[in-house]
Amino acid sequence: MTSSTAWIVAGRELRELWCGGRGPLLLLAFSVLLSVITYLAATNQVLNFLEQREAVNLVLKVAIAVGALVTLVLAADGVSGERERATLEALLVTPARRPGILLGKWLAAMSWWFAGYAIVLPYLWVLGRGVSAAWPAIYSGLLAGTILAAALSLLALLISCLATTNRTSLGASLLLLLALFAPTQLPRGLPQSWFGDLLSWLNPVSAALRFAGDVVVTGHAWNHPLGLLLSPALIAVLAAVALRAWGAAAMANALGRTHE
């Protein structure tokens, strides 16, 4: 029952996202951003072999970060947005099970990540094929980005269930992403310590981007830095458990009634 509900809700959400025009418009903006970054990296004539890999890594990091951001925003609108549009109550009084509703909304949000990553592939191929970095970038980005997008979108969907307004949900989700993303912008030359390395490993954004960088820039086999993905994977699991435990009840409680 939960799985059938999830596919029904996902189908509705997918139609609204892609046929309503919001998804394609976001993809267009995403492709323009990637085109600008790739052009600047490809036309830099002073790049050597190692720096060309850094350029591929830069494009990949932007793709992962922006893709995770858009997926997070879409998930953050999942429940609180319907509540403000006065469509959530009608959904809750149907026989559909609430875990299935949440799963369907999450699947629809994740669809944008996969569509966005499909657009990234030719950019990575053109920029990285000359230094044998295209395939490492493609598979490391897909693995790290998917796990990170899943973790952040599940957290955002949980926030959307708990938030009283859509503005609160979007603001809290973006604040969370900013707090996680800010440490990745610190200069790499800062003194390192075991505590700093631990914080970097615990931060799902830092861990995912570092995984991709280790594979693309340093040429590590994909399974060598695989432990870096434990953090985003664990957060995804914990967020899914919390969403299953509290998200369904929070949807009805926020409406001031419970439909059982």
Q: In 3D, which of 197, 191, 173, 210 has the Cα closest to residue 71?
A: 173
pTM above 0.85, yes or no: yes
Alpha carbon distance 42, 30 (integer Å): 18
pLDDT, one tens digit per residue, over 69-82 is 999 999 999 888 87
Confidence (pLDDT) at 88: 62
218 conformational bin, left if phi > 0, alpha if psi -120 to 50, beta if neither: alpha
pLDDT, one tens digit per residue, over 101-135 is 889 899 999 999 999 999 999 999 988 888 888 99
Instruction: State which residues of the chain have pLDDT below 50.
Output: 50, 189-191, 257-260
Distances (CA, A) of 91 to 83, 96, 186, 250, 256: 10, 8, 44, 14, 15
Confidence (pLDDT) at 257: 42
Which helix (H) or strand (E) segment is 154 a member of?
Answer: helix 134-162
Confidence (pLDDT) at 132: 85
Confidence (pLDDT) at 57: 92
Measured between its terminal Cα atoms, the distance across the chain in Å is 16
